[in-house]
Structure 1
Amino acid sequence: MKIDNTGKPLGAVNARGDARAAKGEGRDSAASTEVQSDSVDIKSFSARLATLEAALSTQPAVDEAKVAEIRKAISEGRFSVQAEAIADRLIASVKELLSDKH
């Protein structure tokens, strides 16, 4: 099948791709000629997204105070890595990501 990229809208096609059935040929034309259309308005979503993007651009990407606190704890020997807690959270995160795909 050749892909038509002329930008012209195609006629109505049913789920099997049969244009004749969608036009009402060979079947009850009153029932099959009804064409439904859907529309989506993304202008309000785009405006909201732009507002959020502007707000986020003013926020630092890294919490410098938290980084300084961790650096100080490391240099003073007070920082301990809890490998089991990190592993548990990593596994939970992976499970959540995998369950969202299904």
Structure 2
Amino acid sequence: MGESRKREAKTLECGGYGGSNPPLCTRDWEGSVGMVFEGVRRKVVALAMLGVLAAVAWRTMDAGRVRTLVFVLLGGFALRVTLTPGRSRYDGEGSPD
């Protein structure tokens, strides 16, 4: 009996019972998580990730057409990231620059 009461109390803490498929607890936390990348920081992270992928390709692939193709594709993505405006439509309020 004690365990069912604990489970019931926990279910009520998280926003009520949702039938056979209860909802996940989506409580607001006091602090914010620092994994939101906006504006120029997003560009820096994207270019850093492309650099890491290029380094992995350099270390793991044999020289040849395939590695050259990988570098051309990664370079194209890096060029696209560099030439896009600083803000994105996903950066919150307002319109992109």
TM-score category (smaller protein)? under 0.3
TM-score (norm 2): 0.22
Ranked by relative contact order (alpha carbons within 8 Å, sequence separation 6 or more), the top structure is 2
TM-score (norm 1): 0.21
Structure with max Cα Rg? 1
